[in-house]
Structure 1
């Protein structure tokens, strides 16, 4: 399926947002995720089904300001 992750196009075989995070080696409870502009909470990632052409943002906190 075609997905855009953090602005980059990917052709991946995944079903859920949790699958995508594992496939791309994103780890940690501190990640923030959004699909098509809508926040997806950590508890909902395993149930959130991705579809072709979804836009996913994966954010992590940064130090500084």
Structure 2
């Protein structure tokens, strides 16, 4: 599947169908992550239900602490 993730064109494995699959693919397990799918912020409770299609645009924003 071809997606645009954080502004980059990427080709992902055929097993990627949902936002949860994308996060698993990139090993994102941060509980504080904001996901935008085609311009709409998606509630974390439906990541596994939000299906993707070729050409979809995904923005992943993680908050990182530090000092």
**Cα RMSD (Å) of the superposition?**
1.4
TM-score by length of structure 1 reads 0.89
Q: What runs of 5+ residues in structure 1 fail to find an aligned partner? A: none
TM-score by length of structure 2 reads 0.87
Deviations 1:3-62 (A, max 9, x none): 010011110121000001100111121000010110111101000000000000000125
Q: What runs of 5+ residues in structure 2 fail to find an aligned partner? A: none
Cα contact 2:30–2:62 (8 A) shared by 1: no
- Could you tell me which residue of structure 2 aligns to residue 44 of structure 1? 46
- Could you tell me which residue of structure 2 aligns to residue 35 of structure 1? 37
**Does 2:11 correspond to 1:5?**
no
